[in-house]
Amino acid sequence: MKWEVSKGPSYSVLKVYLDPGESVTSEPGAMVLMKGPIEIKTHTGGLGAALKRAVFGGESLFINTYIAKGSSELWFSPALPGDIAYIEVRDRPLFIQDLSYLAHHGDLELTIGWRGFKGIFTSGGVVWLKAEGTGGVWVNAFGGIEEVDLGVGESIIVDNYHFVAMEEGMEWKLRKFGGIKSTILGGEGIVIEVKGPGKLLVQTRSLPPFIQLLSKFLPRR
């Protein structure tokens, strides 16, 4: 399997080149183009996992797996303009913000990385998807993607809307950012405090402020 990302980082397209027998799985609606003999299987990836993805993760109940019957080519694009990054999954499972999952390959199981009830009363992808096994995941961002490597004991604070993915095993907790006044006037609310060692990916743009900006130009009923 070979792959490349073109038109990045603003309007990225993932191009995957498959040899016979190779496969790649993506969320529904991500496929742009396919070339060559390809079999498509739509499945849930396990009923329990699928229901958790749909209810808690915001993802579709179904996922599509594309199996090459000969030399084939597939293009995938995310819903939002931004960059695409590849993360190898082997020794440590990967937690992914639900809107950042694009596709994966290999022997991976995609479930919910449920880490307790702290995700129920907040928004912005606090309940994450979990990719576990051996393979790789392509994640997408709104804007660019920055990789942050944290050493032992190092910690950072990330706005929950800028979170993309991180390795399992890193300590994290949700906390309020500032008081009520700063939350209302400053646009900040819930942040994630992450402690190393491990790798974290963040996106350079946040969706809610963009939606608020667009709403100013939409006609009101």
pLDDT tens for each residue of 84-136: 999 999 989 999 988 899 999 999 998 877 554 444 444 444 668 899 999 99
Contact between 93 and 131 under an 8 Å Cβ cutoff? The reply is yes
Domain parsing of the chain, residue ranges: 2-215
2-215: CATH topology: Double-stranded beta-helix (3.60.160)
C-alpha to C-alpha distance for 168 and 162, rounded to whole angstroms: 18
What band does 54 get if pLDDT is binned at 50, 70 and 90?
low
Q: Which residues, at least 6 apart from 212, have a Cβ–Cβ distance to it below 8 Å?
A: none
C-alpha to C-alpha distance for 130 and 112, rounded to whole angstroms: 5
What band does 156 get if pLDDT is binned at 50, 70 and 90?
very high
Please count the helices (runs of H) and the strands (runs of E) in the chain.
3, 17
Contact between 85 and 138 under an 8 Å Cβ cutoff? The reply is yes
The pTM assigned to this predicted structure is: 0.84
